[in-house]
Amino acid sequence: MAKTTDTKTIVVLDDELFNIEWLIDYLDAKGYNPLPSSSADEAIQMISAEVYRALILDLNVPMPTELSAAAGKLGAVYQRYPGLFVAYKARNMGYRDRQVIIYSVHRDSEVSAEAEKIGCTYILKGRPAELKSELEQVLSFDPTDRD
Amino acid sequence: MAVYVFESGTNDMDKDQNATKSEDDEIDLTLLANFTHQIINPLNGVVGTLDNLIDGTIGPERREQRTAAARAQLENCITLVRNLAYLASGQSAFSSTVERKIVVPQVIIEAAMFYQEEGKRRKVSIDLENREVQNKVIGHPETLKQVLMNLFDNCIKYSRFGSQVLVRQWIQNGTSEAVITVRSFPEHEVSNEDLKSIFELGFRGSNAKQMVASGTGLGLHICNHLLKTKHNGSISVQRDGDALLFTLKLPGAWRD
């Protein structure tokens, strides 16, 4: 696993950021720096530059054609849900499984199967308390922080 | 004279009808899935905001703005449900079938007010010129407001950050039609191909998809249908430089 290089920042990927303003407020109140992103390519650029504390990824976000082609090589589900492709990239960059959280309206069996395969958390939108509970556990301990 | 004999079981006519039916079913399921997404997202946001208000996560300096934002999200959901209700049950989806006098600038302002919060976020303003000119038509105020709300929703979501949505209204000489134009600046160019399909049910253009991955493709379709069926009016769209110009026409307008 990759060592966290930015322990205070959490990337939040969602193309309708006003709908997760509550999450931005929550992370801010907990002393973290929420870093919003609204497209798959932007999120991948961000996570290539640093290893952030956690990633919260919506599935349905815009993705440019060239990236979509790359996602398609992994399978149609990665093209259909660009957030899943971002999760895959993150895990392959060394993010730990619990650092990568898929947070979506969709409950899709194909996404569930891939999330299990690549190793990341998958939480449904509808009960914000569930996400908060998961975040509290994830953020309570960083195994790469040995200082 | 040709005589068609349809036997029980599958024949070509049944196959065609079944194919059309399953295409329609697919459109319905896709629309329903998109609709579900569009409703749950903002409602989830409202619940999260309420949690934050209750447990004190949001400080006093932001409480009013966050509460107003949550209200705007709920109003958006109501608009979406109304769109779907209209689609599902045709003309009976709206409570009033009695026509009334509509003061055109008033209904424009009322519709625009629903999008103040979202507009602030994207720094997109909705501005009505000559609001003091009280042009009037007879019609269904609720459905005309729905049309305008759908249009403004579209403009706020897909316009360039920091741009203006300019609304004008006047009475056309000769035809006595009330004309309302809504001019906005889309983030990405809208192709001629997309313009041809823009009022089709379920259609989302590439500008829209590049900005927001999910949407119902319901709003503009409902605009077209409501104007035709409830107001004997029309809506059209054209490019105006790098802007998009929607033109609504409503018959029988006057000014006192």
pLDDT digit string, tens, across residues B143-189: 999 999 999 999 999 999 999 999 999 999 999 999 999 999 999 88
Residues of chain A scoring pLDDT < 50: 147
- Listed in sequence order, the residues at least 6 apart from B14 whose beta carbon sits closer than 8 Å to its beta carbon are B6
The 8-class DSSP code of residue A39 comes to: S
- Listed in sequence order, the residues at least 6 apart from A59 whose beta carbon sits closer than 8 Å to its beta carbon are A81, A82, A83, A84, A102, A104, A106, A108, A111
Question: What average pLDDT is seen over chain B?
Answer: 86
Query: Which residue spans of chain B are classified as CATH 3.30.565.10?
Result: 96-255
User: In this complex, which of A18, A62, A127 lies closest to B69 when CB atoms are compared?
Assistant: A18
- pLDDT at position B9, please? 40
Q: Which of the residue ranges A1-10, B16-25, B49-58 would you say has the lowest mean pLDDT?
A: B16-25
Chain B residue numbers with beta carbons less than 8 Å from the beta carbon of A15 are 211-214
Query: Which tops the pLDDT comparison, B88 or B216?
Result: B216
| CATH number for the domain whose boundaries are B12-92 | 1.10.287
pLDDT band at B7 (very low <50, low <70, confident <90, very high): very low
Contact criterion met (CB < 8 Å) for A60 and B213: yes
Encode pLDDT of B237-250 as tens digits: 999 999 999 999 99
Domains (ranges, CATH) in chain A?
Answer: 6-138 (3.40.50.2300)
- pLDDT at position B256, please? 85
- Mutate which of B121, B214, B216 to disrupt the A interface (most A C-beta within 10 Å)? B214
> Considering chain B, what percentage of its residues have pLDDT values greater than 70?
86
- Mutate which of B39, B52, B64 to disrupt the A interface (most A C-beta within 10 Å)? B52
Instruction: Using the predicted structure, report yes or no on whether residue B1 has a pLDDT greater than 50.
Output: no
Beta strands in A67-127 (DSSP E): 100-104, 121-124
The ipTM (two decimal places) reads 0.91
Question: Residue A126: closest CA among chain B residues belongs to which residue?
Answer: B44
pLDDT band at B4 (very low <50, low <70, confident <90, very high): very low
Instruction: Using the predicted structure, report yes or no on whether residue B17 has a pLDDT greater than 60.
Output: no
Contact criterion met (CB < 8 Å) for B73 and A23: no
Map tokens 């000014």 to a residue.
B255
Q: What integer is the mean pLDDT of B125-154?
A: 94
Query: Which residue spans of chain B are classified as CATH 1.10.287?
Result: 12-92
- pLDDT at position B3, please? 35
- pLDDT at position B89, please? 67
Instruction: Using the predicted structure, report yes or no on whether residue B96 has a pLDDT greater than 50.
Output: yes
Residue A31, by phi and psi: left (phi above 0), alpha (psi -120 to 50) or beta?
Answer: left
Encode pLDDT of A84-113 as tens digits: 999 999 999 999 989 999 999 988 999 999
Residue B95 φ then ψ, to 5°: -65, -35
Instruction: Using the predicted structure, report yes or no on whether residue B92 has a pLDDT greater than 80.
Output: no
**In the numeric block, which tokens belong to residue B148?**
């305008």
Domain B96-255 adopts which CATH fold?
Answer: Heat Shock Protein 90 (3.30.565)
Residue A144 φ then ψ, to 5°: -90, -5
Chain A residue numbers with beta carbons less than 8 Å from the beta carbon of B212 are 15-16, 62
Query: What angle, rounded to 10 degrees, do the helices at A109-118 and A82-92 form?
Result: 10
* pTM as predicted: 0.83
- pLDDT at position B24, please? 65
